[in-house]
Structure 1
């Protein structure tokens, strides 16, 4: 079994224009970092022209599909019956994207197959890291 999963999703950028632009994005989860989810946007979807990634907790994503969650750089909340809004706050401004909630649920179910919720600490590899640190 692989130690990581990736899933492509279609994100819709919320802008002041009446029509939302569809952006490709990739969700990534790795059991080597069992508490975190990464969402990456390719260079063609960013103002800088380079890939931009945001890392946040798996718990934040799961909670945000049900109710408003997050207070920092990443905030998540439900939108209607089939969408979830992810807000990414940076010094340059706020990017808001809509993603189909079903896609997020499918991704989280796949992540839970790798690391069941509540068992993340068993996948941290602290013993291995300490052994490497102290030379064996």
Structure 2
């Protein structure tokens, strides 16, 4: 069994113009980082022209499906019947994307099969994480 769950999603970029541009995005969950999910956008969808990846908690993504969640750089909230809004706050501005809630639920279910909620600590390699932290501090 793979340690990683990846799922392509269709994200609709909310802009000041009336139409919403569809951009590809990928949700990723890695058992080696059990508390986090990542959402990656390809270079054409980013201002700098390079792939951009945001990391945030799996719990935030799950909570945001049913009620507004988050107060930091990433915020998630339901929108309508089958849409979820993910907001990315950066010094350059705010990017908002709409994703089908059903796609997010399917992704979270696959991640749950990999690492059940509440059992994340069992998958952390604290010795390796500490060694990495100390190595990076030099």
TM tier relative to shorter chain: over 0.9
Q: Tell me, in whole angstroms, the C-alpha distance in 2 between the residues paired with 1:2 and 1:82.
A: 29
Q: Tell me, in whole angstroms, the C-alpha distance in 1 between the residues paired with 2:131 and 2:47.
A: 43
Q: Tell me, in whole angstroms, the C-alpha distance in 2 between the residues paired with 1:89 and 1:131.
A: 31
Cα drift, residue 26 of structure 1: 0.3
- Following TM superposition, where does structure 1 have runs of at least 4 consecutive aligned residues deviating by more than 4 angstroms? 127-133
The equivalent of 1:68 in structure 2 is 68
For 1:5-20, list aligned pairs within 5 A. Answer: 5-20=5-20
TM-score (norm 2): 0.92
Aligned-partner SS, 1:17: coil
Q: Tell me, in whole angstroms, the C-alpha distance in 2 between the residues paired with 1:65 and 1:128.
A: 33
RMSD: 1.7
The equivalent of 2:136 in structure 1 is none
The equivalent of 1:110 in structure 2 is 110
How many residues align structurally?
A: 133
Aligned-partner SS, 2:108: helix
The equivalent of 1:100 in structure 2 is 100
Aligned-partner SS, 2:32: coil
Q: Tell me, in whole angstroms, the C-alpha distance in 1 between the residues paired with 2:91 and 2:9.
A: 25
Aligned-partner SS, 2:96: strand
Cα drift, residue 132 of structure 1: 9.5
- Which consecutive residues of structure 1, in runs of 5 or more, have no partner in the other structure? none
Distance 1:87 1:132, change over 3 A: closer
Q: Tell me, in whole angstroms, the C-alpha distance in 2 between the residues paired with 1:131 and 1:47.
A: 35
Aligned-partner SS, 1:9: strand
Q: Tell me, in whole angstroms, the C-alpha distance in 2 between the residues paired with 1:42 and 1:110.
A: 23
The equivalent of 1:31 in structure 2 is 31
Distance 1:13 1:121, change over 3 A: same
- Which consecutive residues of structure 2, in runs of 5 or more, have no partner in the other structure? 134-138
